[in-house]
Chain A
Amino acid sequence: MRTISFTEATLEAMQEEMRRDPTVFLMGEDIAKQGGIFGQFKGLPQEFGFDRVRDTPISEAALVGAGVGAALTGCRPVVDMHFADFITCAMDEVVNQAAKLRYMFGEQCVVPMTLRAPDGITKSAGSQHSQALEGWFVHTPGLEVVVPADAEDAKGLLKAAIRSDNPTLYFEHKMLFPQKGPVPDDADFVIPIGKAKTVRDGKDVAIVTYGITVGRAIEAATLLEADGIDATVINLRTVWPLDYDAIVDAVARTHRVVVAHEAVRVGGVGAEIASFIGEHCFDELDAPVVRLGAAHVPVPFAPVLQEAMYPKAPMIADAARRLVRRQI
């Protein structure tokens, strides 16, 4: 194990996969000469050339469309979306093309494309640069959706996404890039898609979460410790295909669940998880499932407004505390 940043972890994943497979290439805006907004592509064109690490026009529809076309014809493209918000400019290509071709063409093809999408609330980026959009894509059959929570996930899930024969969206939170964490040395370290990780094992309440909110949940668990509450934290890692077994297991062990994410609460991944628990684990529950997510408004600019509208550690801890004390 070494301690490296999330950025470095994604870089290692790219390097290793590009060395391993000559059909892997990368394209996006400002990635080759500038090295990416977060430095996440620095040095790649120097090793792999500007043909395999391509700066592109600001043409998201073409980039994703061409990614699909290249994936259909023997390549394994990685397309950087610059900001996850801009996937909206390529929704046809993601939803009607990438997600559907394999099924509607009777499994004649695979679409091994990875979309890298820096997402989430960051310092006053405002409504059009702050969204967490994974829920849309969970709702679209044919796509895989992974959301790394730390450096280890960053590397293992990116390698898995690139190796997957299904189109995979990789949502990497902008605030995570500089964060450091332990990452295995093994060059073949891959985190399987569809498998959650139990980050913390407690008996009183389970916090089921993913992405940047995992760190907030761990913080919440520390706050809860002071109150004598022992929390489980589940890092889903993949939000589709969801690791329902891990969820069932967590419910069986704790009987109380908080589902938390930074994406809008209404119609979010948390809603799927909560309703699944209601349908399948009803008799295991000692209290209703609590969902935490961003308020149903665009992300505002003013720091005080921005910080008011999405769940952080104290809010998660409060929800868990009330669940355990049967105040919900």
Chain B
Amino acid sequence: MSAPAGARRDLGIALLRTMIRIRVLEEGIEKHFLAGDIPGFAHLSIGQEAVAAGTCANLRTDDAIASTHRGHGHTLAKGTSMRGMVAELFARATGICKGKGGSMHIADFSVGMLGANGVVAGGFGLVAGAALSAQQRKTDQVAVCFFGDGATNRGPFHENLNLCAIWNLPAIFVLENNRYASTTSTAETMKIADVSLRAQGYGMPSAIVDGFDALAVYDALGEAVARARSGGGPTFVECKTYRARGHYIGDPERYRQKTEVEDVMSASDPIVRMQAQLADGLSPAEFEGLWSTAREEFADAVAFARSSPSPERDEAFFGAYTGDRDASDPVHAIESRERDEFMPFAPNVGAGSQGSGH
């Protein structure tokens, strides 16, 4: 295969840049999580970056995506700032969700990112709805659902694929088949090797793509997005990929051999793969430049997060209802009373607490 040239080369470099930014972000998250800077749970998508990069490069800012608990890559690729993300993970008031969401519930509506989701298969309905909304409002927006193989064993997958198919909605279902549902091998949880077979049951066109190859993902999604945008309905794209880290940071990974991870990554690391594809089209200095720029971006984001305040304690009590900050709204008085009644019995709750809750 010859090295891509011209616009294709530029695209390859853009995809590589995104993948490197995701890798740097997630390796940094891992480090800071283990150092105790990040409370809660965090799930890394290292090894799967080509799917996020190749997919989102086809999308406009006003297109929607819904992500999973493993959503850092999708969020960054859709256009969320690293500062906003890292501050959120550090539980700061300047986080993109004001420190109320964290890694598993990060969203950025300014770029059409409808949220990571703590519930496996939680994104299907949101994407079906965003696609339905585009159809109702007669726009040419599309909506993309990222999900894992495990989610395809849940009911909402089936209900929403069917709904999108019968209504010809501009939705695209991007499966990141990373071979494991949490810690259980996909081979144990379904009798088919290609999950995309399931799309046929709903009369939905599907494709299988090498999920380590960002250009291949880009091309497959390009077709799917064009179909959706032009009124051709939904598409299912199965990206065969691999999760190089545990299910969560700290996963002892008793369900697989270390050599399996090493074998897959040495053969298929999507960043190495793209570098090889670009061949002479990317100099070593340019390649190193992508890494150093990403590292600077991440260091800046960490500095921003560290210098940002924690949320005010009062913030815990507001934000669930549109009216709860408005003194004239009935819910404001109620939520204020809830706070006032709670506080005297819990004078120390939240005071200086940076714990992870573990």
Contacts and interface: CB of A to CB of B under 8 A. Distances in A.
Contacts of B99: 106
A165 interface: yes
B330 interface: yes
Interface string A105-134: 111111000000000000000000000000
Contacts of A23: 136-137
A52 B136 contact: yes
Interface in B95-141: 95-101, 105, 107-110, 114-115, 117-119, 122, 124-137
B125 A97 contact: yes
Interface in B179-198: none
B130 A107 contact: no
B126 A106 contact: no
- Residue from B130, B135, B330, B337 having most chain A Cβ neighbours under 10 A: B330
Nearest to A238: B330
The interface size bin for chain B is 35 or more
Nearest to A140: B320
Contact of B128 (A25, A65, A74): A65
Contact of A69 (B125, B320, B323, B329): B125
Interface stretch (A9-17, A53-61, A210-218): A53-61
A94 B159 CA distance: 16
A54 B132 CA distance: 11
B287 interface: no
Interface stretch (A173-181, A182-190, A239-247): A239-247
A108 B108 contact: yes
B319 A106 contact: yes
A74 B137 contact: yes
Nearest to B167: A54
Given A104-B100, A104-B101, A106-B101, A73 B125 contact: no
A244 B108 CA distance: 36
A285 interface: no
A278 to B, nearest CB: 13
Interface string B319-344: 11111000001110110010000000
Nearest to A243: B330
A92 interface: yes
A105 B160 contact: no
B118 A96 contact: yes
A57 B203 CA distance: 15
A102 B319 contact: yes
Contacts of A69: 64, 66, 114, 125-133, 143
Contacts of A102: 319-322
Contacts of B64: 69, 73
Given A103-B320, A108-B109, A166-B322, A70 B132 contact: yes
A233 to B, nearest CB: 21
A74 B162 CA distance: 23
Nearest to B311: A106
B279 interface: no
B114 A65 contact: no
B263 to A, nearest CB: 37
A199 interface: no
Contacts, number: 169
A193 interface: yes
B136 A108 contact: no
Contact of A108 (B107, B323, B334): B107
B107 A109 contact: yes
B303 interface: no
B330 A193 contact: yes
B107 A92 contact: no
A242 B334 CA distance: 8
A72 B126 contact: yes
A225 to B, nearest CB: 32
B163 A56 contact: yes
Nearest to A141: B320
Contacts of B124: 62, 65
Contacts of A57: 159, 162-163, 166
Nearest to A245: B333
B160 A66 contact: yes
A68 B97 contact: no
B129 A72 contact: yes
B163 A59 contact: yes
A231 B53 CA distance: 67
B156 interface: yes
Interface string A125-157: 000000000000000011010000000000000
A75 interface: yes
Given A72-B114, A73-B130, A107-B319, A25 B136 contact: yes
B126 A241 contact: no
A244 B109 CA distance: 35
30 contacts: A51-B136, A61-B160, A62-B156, A62-B160, A65-B156, A65-B159, A66-B125, A69-B64, A69-B127, A69-B130, A70-B132, A72-B109, A72-B114, A72-B130, A73-B64, A74-B133, A75-B136, A96-B118, A97-B117, A97-B119, A100-B105, A101-B115, A102-B321, A104-B101, A106-B95, A106-B96, A106-B319, A108-B107, A142-B320, A166-B323
Report the 6 A-B pairs with minimum CB-CB distance, sorted nearest first. Answer: A65-B125, A69-B129, A194-B330, A106-B98, A62-B159, A106-B97
Given A51-B135, A73-B64, A73-B130, 12 more contacts: A65-B124, A69-B127, A69-B129, A69-B132, A72-B109, A72-B126, A72-B129, A73-B143, A92-B156, A106-B100, A141-B320, A142-B321
Interface of B: 64, 66, 95-101, 105, 107-110, 114-115, 117-119, 122, 124-137, 143, 155-156, 159-160, 162-163, 166-167, 319-323, 329-331, 333-334, 337
